[in-house]
Structure formats: C-alpha cells, structure tokens
Amino acid sequence: MIEVPAPAKVNLVLEVLNKRSDGYHEVRSLIQAINLCDDLYFTADSELEFVCNISNLQNPDNLVMKAAELLRTTYNCKRGAKIRLEKKIPTGAGLGGGSSDAAITLMALNKLWNLHVKREELLRLAAQLGSDVSFFLHRGMALVKSRGEQVIPLPSTPIPWFVVLSPAISEIPAKTKKLYAQLNEHHFTQGQYTSEVMQSWSIDYHIDPGKLFNVFDSVAFEIFPELERYWSMFKDAGADYIHLAGSGPSLFAPFEDQMKAGAIHRRLAAGGLRSYVVSAIAP
C-alpha cells in the first residue's frame, strides 16, 4: 500500500493579466503549499475502485478518478487499484484540495503500476486535469504562469505560518467562473505585484506580508455576500493582512510568529469559527 498526504495551498499573489483568445485568463501567481492535507491510500487491485469518507465526493467525476483513468488510458495500463481518500481540506474552498488529490494520484499510481512515466509527461497530464494540478506535482513554493500550468519551483517562502479561516458558506456552482466573470480590464495588472514580491524575496529572502495580493479580493463580496462578515471577524480577531485563498471563500492571513497565529486561531474558535494554524512546507 502507498500512503501519501495531499497538501492544500495558498496563493500569496494572484494576478490576472488579461483574457486570452482561448477563453482562459492569463495569470501570474506565487503559490505556497501548506501542511493542511488530505490523506490518500493506494492498494494494487485488478479493478479501479475509489472510496471517500465524504459520500458525495465518491463519484466518477472526482478528480482522483479522472486522474487515474487518464493515466490508465494514456499508457494503456490494464492494472487497477483501490484508492481511499480521507478528506480533511475543506471542499470548494479555494485551497486546491481536489487538484492536490489529482496530482498525488498521478504520482502514486505511476509508482504503484510501475509505469516509469517521466515528470514532464505527468505535468502534461496534470494540465489536462485542471489549472492548479501541475503546481502540486512540485509543491513547496512556485511561480505560476499562463493559465496555471507553467510552474517554476522556488524555495519555500520565508513566511512560516498562516491562519486559514473556513467560513460556513454554501458551495456556489461554477464559483471560479463567476469570479472571473466579475473581472474587467480595470482589475487586470501587469504582473507588478508578483515582480515586487519576487524582487524582495531574491534580495534578502524576506516577503513583506503587506505586499501580498489577490485580484479576487476586490470582487469576492459580490459572489459571497456573507463573506464580508467573516472578513470583519477575522480582522477583529487581530489579523492585519487578510486575503482570499485562491478563488475562496476561505480566507488566510500570514504570520511570522506562531504564537500570534495561535492566538488568532483561539479567538476565531471562541467566536464559533473553524480555522487552522498551518505552516509552509518545502517541496
């Protein structure tokens, strides 16, 4: 049996440069993997079977199954596997849990089935599954370009701690598509936020938390009206810099001090909110 954790992520910077002719958006993003993880278990079997501790995720449309089927079909593999997913990352939250599960599935089944598929080929398959899947084949911190499939690995961020707030908001169908639809040319940037953070990091390996940026911060309340209350509660708990995690609705705040992060977490818990104190993880 192969047991592998599938980490979540936060977008330290997320910019949209323009809308491409293929209908996708050109993005620049700095992404950091964090130690909030799902757990995946893979056992060799004659058939392909998938089970999950959350029943409504146990279906053929789950990215785990799509990744497994894509790998089998592409390489004409006749083997099977029993795959068990223990879901711990909040679903539909902007934390990349589904994409991470898919990436781990590609890597684990490549090993379990002795396919010897090279990383470059796995990256090609990952790009077919979703924009964030390629990042999770690298993990750590990375600069991401194009529609998300171009990944340049970097050493982990010097921001060691994050508090992630998972608000109790019902999942919105086609959430990411709706958020992108709210953007116009006034929201588009030229990659300057990414460049500024990268320049600061390259000089003294320090990232000013005040320079983090997410283009969706400015339109999130239009898609998630309830989110404004959670944002205010996060701020009232003592968080100085708050951003949407990816396309949300989860929120995160960066901290250089674990004790302060823990204090914020306890204040949120006292208010009945679910949050996590997490750390950045290396590749």
CATH number at residue 37: 3.30.230.10
Location of structure tokens 């879901």? 87
Q: Is 38 a catalytic residue?
A: no
Task: Tell me: do 144 and 8 sit in the same domain.
Answer: yes
Task: Tell me: do 128 and 9 sit in the same domain.
Answer: yes
3-state secondary structure of 75: coil
Task: Tell me: do 23 and 120 sit in the same domain.
Answer: yes
Task: Tell me: do 173 and 144 sit in the same domain.
Answer: no
Q: Is 132 a catalytic residue?
A: yes
Residue pair 17/188 in contact by the 8 Å Cβ criterion: yes
How many structural domains compose the chain?
A: 2
Q: Which stretches of the chain score pLDDT less than 70? A: 202-203
Q: What is the pLDDT of residue 241?
A: 96
Token pair listed for 129: 């599954």
Could you tell me the CA-to-CA distances from 90 to 49, 169, 199 in Å, in that order? 23, 11, 33
Q: What is the pLDDT of residue 156?
A: 73
Task: Tell me: do 166 and 149 sit in the same domain.
Answer: no
Amino acid at 46: S
Structural domain of residue 271, as residue ranges?
161-279
Catalytic residue among 9, 38, 66, 87: 9
Task: Tell me: do 36 and 85 sit in the same domain.
Answer: yes
Catalytic residue among 19, 82, 132, 175: 132
Task: Tell me: do 134 and 165 sit in the same domain.
Answer: no
Could you tell me the CA-to-CA distances from 125 to 60, 102, 105, 138, 163 in Å, in that order? 18, 10, 11, 14, 32
Q: What is the pTM of this model?
A: 0.94
Task: Tell me: do 48 and 80 sit in the same domain.
Answer: yes
